[in-house]
Structure 1
Amino acid sequence: MKTLNYVLVPLLALMAFGPAPKPKKPATGMPATGLSATGLPATVTMTKAALQDKIKGGWAGQVIGCTFGGPTEFKFNGTMMNDYQPIPWYDGYIKKTMVENVGLYDDLYMDLTFVDVFEKKGLDAPVSEHANAFANAGYMLWHANQVGRYNILNGMKAPESGHWLNNPHADDIDFQIEADFSGLMAPGMPNTAVQIGDPIGHIMNSGDGWYGGVYVGAMYSLAFVSNDVNYVVREGLKAIPAQSTFYQCIADVIKWHDLYPTDWKRTWLEIQRKWADEVGCPDGVFAPYNIDAKINSAYIVLGLLYGQGDYTKTMQISTRAGQDSDCNPSSAGGILGTMLGYDKIPAYWKQGLAEAEDIDFKYTTMSLNDVYGIGMKHALQVVERNGGKVSGNNVTIAVQTPKAVRLEQNFTGHYPTEKRAVNKDLVGPHQAGPHPAGDEYTATFEGIGFILSGEARPKAQGNQYDYESNYTGQLEVYVDDKKIETANLPASFTRRRYDMTWKYQLAPGKHTLRVKLLNPDPDYPVRIRTLFVFGDKPILAKY
């Protein structure tokens, strides 16, 4: 079987999008001893100034893309943003957004959490340091990040905290938007970028969710040593196992770009037709909303391939593809910014940037100017650790050929079959309210798994909520009269359990779910919202 895979994986890659392009010249530098298997020089030498310029371009590009796409985030779900839809951009906009909309920059302050740990604890800091810093940070989180945080705070460790059996959002985009740091620390060394990001990515993700960060990190790394967008997109994909759905999705985008090289909207439609179905995240099941890593990564690649190195086209396309349309141009803009370097990012996109570069990102003590310097320091350390050399004003990088990481595939054999509205408050047996009340809920379903969504939330005081309440609901969960857990449901927004309870890999057939709130409090209703059911076969519409 192993022998077969050695033949099959490269064959699948060839079938997916044809032969690799001819080797391109490196971004800067000179070969030392022949060519690496990437077709690039085995080593690339650049000045420290050139390396710093690329690191600055990567971080600044993230800010530019995040700011530009911010007003459109998840406002165009399952539909592209057509050309007549204006997206603002003007001098002073970056500073205004950084001051007035601090939560937009989760792409950045999440990255910087890990950068800060490396700075304070060293490059060999254990994953527990990153997990604890992430879990105890003051920022609000959603999806795989929040589930990972909850798991860490409740005693679970990585990688179990990001495993799909413990995290229904394991395929979501979270690590993909946070993995920039790994590639920016490892110029020209995609395998090292993957190694740096691997344990951190598994705090909150696994499977396709982890692959999103692997791929983005690899593309950043390669963007230091190649000026060819097509090459970086294809070469970076070698880090992903060909058997995975993530690889297959991105390979399709590359193939469709080859077929329709001047029509990004045609490729967008093909992506939508084949890859728009959500399986894991309940928010996207039977809904146009999609925060899955692979389709949003497809939109990053869409922007890069059809932008062809033009910063404006790359920003516009990766944003107008929709869904997570601040994170996607942030990743695309950061990768292209690394390739071009800060100085070559067009002035139009840097207008007002200088006046924002000394502003600390919320929840951090780091500004862009700080991270430019810290990023350079870490990159030089990583270069020297991995066969490179820093001598005077020159940096010599030992270029790596991307190697496919291990295969992880989430939710195999699980297919959404039902989305059942519940809308029941667990407030105690004698409490009245607008929704059915009581301290228990029972449902029967047929399938192999379920997610019950909902939350504990304090009653509103006017238009205000006490988002950091100390109340924690305790929910006993039974499947077929067997207790499977007692779930803690903090009313605190930063400590909350993103989904109330879930279970996969049940025996096929009918099951009874019963939940009982052990400590109801009328000031903290526990709202059950929706029951999601998974079967072992997809339900296909019949026409």
Structure 2
Amino acid sequence: MKMLLLSVLMVTLLSATTLPVKPPKVAPKTITVTKSALQNKIKGGWAGQLIGCTFGGPTEFRFTGTMINDYQPIPWYNGYIKHTMLNTPGLYDDIYMDLTFVDVFERKGINAPVSEHANAYANAGYMLWHANQAGRYNLLNGMKAPESGHWLNNPHADDIDFQIEADFSGLMAPGMPNTAVQIGDPIGHIMNYGDGWYGGAYVGAMYSLAFLPTGQTGVSKDVNYIVREALKTIPAHSTFYQCIADVIKWHEQFPNDWKRNWFEIQRKWSSEVGCPDGVFRAFNIDAKLNSAYIVLGLLYGGGDFTKTMEISTRAGQDSDCNPSSAGGILGTLLGYDKIPPYWKQGLKEAEDIDFKYTTMSLNDVYAMGMKHALQVVELNGGSVAGEQVTIAVQTPKAVRLEQAFTGHYPVLIKNIQKDLENEYSIDFEGVGFVLRGEAKTKDRSLSNAASANNDINFAFNAELYIDEKKVETVKLPVNFTQRRHELFWKYQLSKGKHTIRIKLLNPDTDHVVHMTDLLVYSDKPIKSI
């Protein structure tokens, strides 16, 4: 009798404390697809990127800290893609940056060392900003990856850069998200670290999972699956994971109101910590925030290409790169043939145009993408037999935990706006700082690009002293493509008062080092109201 009562009690307790759990969608160990089906998805991924980047281009960083209202028109018409590629080729930085690495794989092989990628990226002709430029400067001045992307050496480590360049990794690894992350890992650490790397890892994993066959429940469910499953590659303790998990949770709470979700993202995740250009400003190029907008477009778009484009763009901030990633992921899921004709109007006439800074067109990339994907399939347990491609599907696994700017909280910006003539000193109290500014020609009538061409061989040499101890001697090139993105920075200082002294070793009558402001970090955040 006692045993019966105990059994009844246990059943009652279990029924009261547990909820029915839906069995997880288990990926097959292998899938077999035709080469034509695989090529269709690869084409869809690259074409989707181009479409999203073109569509969002006119809005990029013009809406910071606010969404783009419904009444704001965003143009799209037949011939728009070709016109943009010919007349605004610099817009496609998130594609020609991708192609830098694709080209290395093509020339040096699938197992090309990261040094080949770093060298190609550092010496490319295009202009860069944020984590990309900080990483480039580090490489050009003797630092190697992954140190070039580490947050102690790169104030932009958490920025979006690798996230917008990681598409290649997922398109090379169909159905193999762990391999996609592995391919991107060393390349992503050329310019990023922590959440900045996770952004690219997550995007690459979503692309990879978009190759899996769609289920009987329809495209919408498959988009949800891709978003959730890819997140398993990111450590749960990271702020990146927590941000995206929140977006998924809020989608469940407000399934028909993407703007409510946007407000929740803004409320909790819009405070910039790392990027000196975004701290205490509405501008935000942080990877996790912009990745949240990618996910916003995918979840609320529900497999509809138009809704996905509109939402990921109208979320604002980096509103060309975000629809580019969302469009590429959805384009991979749908396949090229099923991207709506409205969005492909004029695409054919643009597919043979080489992207700026490359000798590659979309048609070239379609072919290279297929070639590289087949190689990666065979290197990771799959096989290619005639027209049949068998893929060894992978279950996503979380990568290592790394977090940037831990124990650092921005508390103050001191306005400076002075030219450095010989020496300059300034005091602050905290555990870290970033001194912003630039080395440039004194002829302010010249653009940055013209200035770079006219002063290509000139660089200042300057010393940084902290509390009268010399910390480093650095070059400050005037050339825009070789510049140091920030003048000086230092983290992990002892808490307390510090004095910074900058000494210019080679003042020049034709050039100047202009200091704009000093960003100060403390070990504790400012108390909220």
What interval of TM-score do these two structures reach, taking the shorter chain for normalisation?
over 0.9
Matches within 5 A, 1:523-542: 523-542=510-529
Q: Which amino acid aligns with 2:497?
A: K
Q: Find the counterpart in structure 2 of residue 80 from structure 1.
A: 67
Find the aligned partners of 2:200 and 2:389 in 1 and give their Cα distance: 26
Deviations 1:287-321 (A, max 9, x none): 00000000000000000000000000000000000
Find the aligned partners of 1:103 and 1:19 in 2 and give their Cα distance: 52
Deviation at 1:420, TM superposition (A): 1.0
The equivalent position to 1:39 in structure 2, one of 8, 26, 43, is 26
**Do 2:98 and 2:167's aligned partners in 1 also have CA atoms closer than 8 Å?**
yes
When structure 1 is superposed on structure 2, of 224-233 and 200-209 the one drifting more is: 224-233
Find the aligned partners of 1:424 and 1:503 in 2 and give their Cα distance: 20
Structure 1: which 5+ residue stretches go unaligned? 1-17, 24-37, 427-437
**Do 2:27 and 2:395's aligned partners in 1 also have CA atoms closer than 8 Å?**
no
**Do 1:21 and 1:231's aligned partners in 2 also have CA atoms closer than 8 Å?**
no
The equivalent position to 2:413 in structure 1, one of 405, 413, 419, is 419
The alignment status of 1:516 with 2:510, answered yes or no, reads no
**Do 1:44 and 1:399's aligned partners in 2 also have CA atoms closer than 8 Å?**
yes
Find the aligned partners of 1:403 and 1:226 in 2 and give their Cα distance: 20
Q: Find the counterpart in structure 2 of residue 450 from structure 1.
A: 433
The alignment status of 1:239 with 2:233, answered yes or no, reads yes
Deviation at 1:463, TM superposition (A): 4.5
Q: Which amino acid aligns with 1:78?
A: G
> What is the TM-score when the length of structure 2 is the normalising length?
0.93
Deviations 1:32-84 (A, max 9, x none): xxxxxx61211111110000000000000000000000000000000001100
Q: Find the counterpart in structure 2 of residue 466 from structure 1.
A: 451
Find the aligned partners of 1:422 and 1:409 in 2 and give their Cα distance: 30
Q: Which amino acid aligns with 1:354?
A: K
Matches within 5 A, 1:326-365: 326-365=320-359
Q: Which amino acid aligns with 2:249?
A: K
Q: Find the counterpart in structure 2 of residue 477 from structure 1.
A: 464
Find the aligned partners of 2:211 and 2:23 in 1 and give their Cα distance: 18
When structure 1 is superposed on structure 2, of 459-468 and 50-59 the one drifting more is: 459-468
The equivalent position to 2:82 in structure 1, one of 73, 88, 95, is 95
**Do 1:109 and 1:363's aligned partners in 2 also have CA atoms closer than 8 Å?**
yes
Q: Which amino acid aligns with 2:452?
A: Y
Deviations 1:384-414 (A, max 9, x none): 1111111111111110000000000000000
Q: Find the counterpart in structure 2 of residue 9 from structure 1.
A: none
Find the aligned partners of 1:309 and 1:98 in 2 and give their Cα distance: 27
Q: Find the counterpart in structure 1 of residue 218 from structure 2.
A: none
Q: Find the counterpart in structure 2 of residue 152 from structure 1.
A: 139
Find the aligned partners of 1:53 and 1:276 in 2 and give their Cα distance: 37
When structure 1 is superposed on structure 2, of 450-459 and 303-312 the one drifting more is: 450-459
Deviation at 1:461, TM superposition (A): 6.4
Deviation at 1:471, TM superposition (A): 1.1
Find the aligned partners of 1:532 and 1:422 in 2 and give their Cα distance: 11
Structure 2: which 5+ residue stretches go unaligned? 1-18, 215-221
Number of residue equivalences: 500
The equivalent position to 1:123 in structure 2, one of 103, 106, 110, is 110
Matches within 5 A, 1:155-166: 155-166=142-153
Deviation at 1:22, TM superposition (A): 5.6
Find the aligned partners of 2:323 and 2:443 in 1 and give their Cα distance: 36
Instruction: Provide the secondary structure at the position in 2 that maps to 1:457.
Output: strand
The alignment status of 1:298 with 2:292, answered yes or no, reads yes
Q: Find the counterpart in structure 2 of residue 397 from structure 1.
A: 391
Find the aligned partners of 2:343 and 2:504 in 1 and give their Cα distance: 53
Deviation at 1:19, TM superposition (A): 9.4
Find the aligned partners of 1:244 and 1:389 in 2 and give their Cα distance: 36
Q: Find the counterpart in structure 2 of residue 310 from structure 1.
A: 304
Find the aligned partners of 2:22 and 2:135 in 1 and give their Cα distance: 39
The runs of 4+ residues in structure 1 deviating greater than 3 Å are 18-23, 461-465
Instruction: Provide the secondary structure at the position in 1 that maps to 2:144.
Output: coil
Matches within 5 A, 1:111-260: 111-227=98-214, 228-260=222-254
Q: Which amino acid aligns with 2:417?
A: N
Deviation at 1:448, TM superposition (A): 0.2
**Do 1:64 and 1:333's aligned partners in 2 also have CA atoms closer than 8 Å?**
yes
Alpha carbon RMSD of aligned pairs, Å? 1.2
| CA spacing shift, 1:540–1:120, aligned 2, 3 Å | same
